[in-house]
Chain A
Amino acid sequence: MNELLGVAIAAVISWINFVVIDTWMGLPESPGVKGAEFIARDVKKRGGDLSGGFFQGNIVCSPDASAGTLLGAICCFLIGIPQGGFIAALLVFVGNRLCADPGYAGTIGALSITFIILAGSLVGLTPEMFVVGMVIAIVTIQGLHHQSASRLLGKIAQKLGRYSKLA
């Protein structure tokens, strides 16, 4: 498969994977730690959405499905499929517990991307495409425009019934 096309497809798949898992696991509902709340309040002050801000703050402050997806792809690239994904899931779980997080989102993200990479390898998508794709996916959430990204994340949270009750 053409490398650029592969990276674009991997970026879209990775984006959907980590945003859906993180939202489903309740990241937009409340801040896990104080740092996440500060980020969310700041994003809201600049015209963003509070719930989307909680999502952005939480993925900065602990390894959730975004880190699980990225680490899963890196470990599959370095170690192999599926053993890399299993090792990534264990490391993400340890990281989660150190960051005061039960660890469901991160481990599910690492395991799901492992199976996605396994399926993608059948159509020519390689683990390195997913590594680059995931970096691009995280940049769209954290690196381009916080306000727009938080509003989009807030709408997704509303659709999945995970919108924050905090004001």
Chain B
Amino acid sequence: MIIHVIELYTLISYLITFVSALVVALLLKLPLLPERPMRDSWTISALFPTSIIALGLLAIFLQLNVTGFYNGWDVAVIVGVFSAFFSRYLLEDVFPKFEMEESYE
């Protein structure tokens, strides 16, 4: 039973970080989705990669037992906000866009 409650808290943490990353990214004027066709788009959006970064970072923190004061929920909010700011201001510098050569098109 204890294990089940802890798992529920963890799942809620993932939900919180996903929502907080999404909301802050939208407030920072990132689009919700990349433009179509999405598979060729390098546009940074709220859903991809902001939420992926938030979920991955939170999983690392929780796995390292960094759970904060409120069952990981406070860490989830901080990670979500950080991911949104990282995606908005730093991601393109850390992982620059690749310019496709004309011969491949």
Contacts and interface: CB of A to CB of B under 8 A. Distances in A.
A95 B58 CA distance: 19
Interface residues of A, number: 27
B39 A100 contact: no
A89 B60 contact: no
Contacts of B55: 86, 89-90
Given A86-B56, A104-B38, A97 B95 contact: yes
B78 to A, nearest CB: 16
Interface residues of B, number: 24
B66 interface: no
Contacts of A126: none
B56 A89 contact: yes
B53 A90 contact: yes
A26 B53 CA distance: 23
A102 B52 contact: no
Contacts of B63: 79, 83, 87
Interface string A91-116: 10110011011111101000100000
A25 interface: yes
A94 B94 CA distance: 10
Interface string B41-77: 1100000110011011111101100000000000000
B49 A103 contact: yes
Contacts of B102: none
B14 interface: yes
B14 A102 contact: no
A91 B63 CA distance: 15
A30 interface: yes
Given A83-B63, A102-B41, A107-B49, A90 B14 contact: no
8 contacts: A24-B39, A26-B37, A30-B104, A31-B104, A37-B104, A84-B59, A90-B52, A90-B60
| 7 cross-chain pairs, A with B, having the tightest CB-CB distances, nearest first | A90-B56, A97-B95, A100-B98, A83-B59, A86-B59, A86-B55, A25-B39
Interface of A: 24-26, 30-31, 37, 79, 82-84, 86-87, 89-91, 93-94, 97-98, 100-105, 107, 111
